[in-house]
Structure 1
Amino acid sequence: MLLRGFVRPVERCFGRLGGGDGLMWHMDLKPHSSGEFSIAVVQANNSLEDQGQVITSPSATFVGVYDGHGGPEASRFISNHLFPHLDRIASEQGGLSTEVIKKAFDATEEEFTHLVQRSWLSRPQIASVGSCCLVDAITGDTLFVANLGDSRAVLGRRAVNDMTVVAERLSTDHNVSAEEVRKELAELHPDDEQIVVHTRGVWRVKGIIQVNKICFN
């Protein structure tokens, strides 16, 4: 397995561990396979819809941040299902790769779609929830970054000639505000000319806010 002997998730849901004050919460430095990490979150909504997890082993580190939209159901589902799919598929494929991460996202989305189909008559609100996801996986000397929606990964590194910290963007937003994304979505839905709509000065996918797409760097 990719993370055979992995420890229990250091954090599965923001707010369970660490310290905080009111709507601010943080976790102090903890060890992982390549060094140390910390997490901090500021709650902006009435209820905390976001989820996060860090899972470590001697050989790999997995970090997931899931931004909930319209409620916490989708982000909680991803927190509970994405990593098991990633671990299973990586084991079947002999290690972590871009294709493995894509398949794990696809499997998680397919499961959630089935959940919505089974639940929407009794819980119609679940059909309108979603999540932007940001996943980092470190194994050996390789960093994988997967982004769904508008979540963004930024690497802080020390400049070569001085001690300043340089911010380097690692992921690409995938949003229908970009013309090429609108064209892509139209090609994926040739039978629906109104799949992308322009309302109140903003481009949106018809009926939802985010586009479910994974971008890799």
Structure 2
Amino acid sequence: MVSATIRRIVSPCWRPSEGEISSRHGDASGRANGLLWYKDSGRHANGEFSMAVIQANNLLEDQSQLESGPLSLTEGNPQGTFVGIYDGHGGPEAARFVNDRLFNNIKKFTSENNGMSADVINKAFLATEEEFLSLVEKLWLHKPPIASVGSCCLIGIICSGELYIANAGDSRAVLGRLDEAMKEIKAIQLSVEHNASHASVREELHSLHPNDPQIVVMKHQVWRVKGLIQISRSIGDAYLKKAEFNKAPLLAKFRLSEPFDQPILKAEPAILVQKLCPQDQFLILASDGLWEQMSNQEAVDIVQSCPRNVGF
């Protein structure tokens, strides 16, 4: 698995590790080279991995995470691999919070439901959202900008031969699959970006807010939700989830002229579940910073060209 950027930037350095692993960018197990942070490639429960991130802003707002081992809090429940890409905006708080809480909530609900499922993932996203909004409620009068902090969230889970992809925001998961007839690796996109630039997202917003003709507007040649933000799903962004956070002392540029009685943005992820097959070679999970620079197939070709063991 590859996250955040591609191995064209990170030289392949295979160092297999044993047992459970927990890798989060920014910890001591990774390496820094200027604005690049990367984790040397190693082993997880289902294959090899590498992680990398390039800092684009003065303050690093993003997080990435890989956990390999038990996916629940109780014995006898499944082992697997969890990967998270958390693309923060407005500040680092939401992405850091998700990095700390989402996987723990996945394990909690997996234990309570005696196994992994799409419902478990959905519950974990919503629980993480509620926890963060509770934090905002405690802090926002003294720290108003916390109400405008949010994070896109993309996760991938491999468990018992099943692949789970869950996305809220505009990150993307792409599968590299062997086309046996053509003898080449094809890119298969597994997630859809929740970005107002897509007509389907604008249609969804209009259907959810039929009485609001300004739910999506063109601003500076970009489609934006309420003229403020491009994404339609996230964790955080409390100022567009609850009206009580969309008022002073929040900065005026974030405040809407009219009150709202239902969340404008959603935290529910879009979830895909499918069985892995022998032709599935690798996954790429990355934020929009990567996909704005290259196509799915270009990214797959780069990963395929790097030395590695084949398959998950």
Please state which band the TM-score falls in when normalised by the shorter chain: 0.7 to 0.9
Of the three residues 32, 35, 39, the one matched with 2:51 is 39
Of the three residues 250, 266, 269, the one matched with 1:214 is 269
What is the CA-CA distance between 1:44 and the residue it aligns to?
A: 1.4
Deviations 1:35-79 (A, max 9, x none): 121112222111211111111116211111101111111100101
Distance in 1 separating the partners of 2:29 and 2:183: 33
What is the CA-CA distance between 1:190 and the residue it aligns to?
A: 4.9
- 2:138 is equivalent to residue 118 of structure 1: yes
SS in 2 for 1:134: strand
Aligned amino acid, residue 36 of structure 2: M
Structure index of larger Rg: 2
- 2:96 is equivalent to residue 76 of structure 1: yes
SS in 2 for 1:121: coil
- For the 8 Å contact 1:62–1:136, the answer to whether it is kept is yes
Name which structure has the greater RCO, CA cutoff 8 Å, separation 6+. 2
Of the three residues 28, 38, 60, the one matched with 1:48 is 60
SS in 1 for 2:107: helix
Percentage of identical aligned residues: 50
Alignment of 1:90-169 (within 5 A): 90-161=110-181, 164-169=184-189
Task: Could you tell me which runs of 5 or more consecutive residues in structure 2 were left unpaired when the two chains were aligned.
Answer: 1-18, 71-78, 234-267, 273-312
For residues 166 and 196 of structure 1, do their structure 2 counterparts lie closer, same or farther at Cα, with a shift above 3 Å needed? same
Output the TM-score relative to the length of structure 1: 0.87
For residues 191 and 123 of structure 1, do their structure 2 counterparts lie closer, same or farther at Cα, with a shift above 3 Å needed? farther
SS in 1 for 2:22: coil
SS in 2 for 1:57: strand
SS in 2 for 1:39: strand
Structure 1 vs Structure 2 CA RMSD: 2.1
Q: 1:3: which partner in 2?
A: none
Deviations 1:55-105 (A, max 9, x none): 111621111110111111110010111111111111111111111111111
Q: 2:236: which partner in 1?
A: none
Between 190-199 and 40-49, report the one with greater CA deviation: 190-199
Of the three residues 14, 31, 44, the one matched with 2:26 is 14
What is the CA-CA distance between 1:29 and the residue it aligns to?
A: 2.0
- For the 8 Å contact 1:174–1:215, the answer to whether it is kept is no
Of the three residues 196, 200, 215, the one matched with 2:216 is 196
For residues 118 and 193 of structure 1, do their structure 2 counterparts lie closer, same or farther at Cα, with a shift above 3 Å needed? farther
Q: 1:173: which partner in 2?
A: 193
- How many pairs were matched up? 211
Output the TM-score relative to the length of structure 2: 0.62
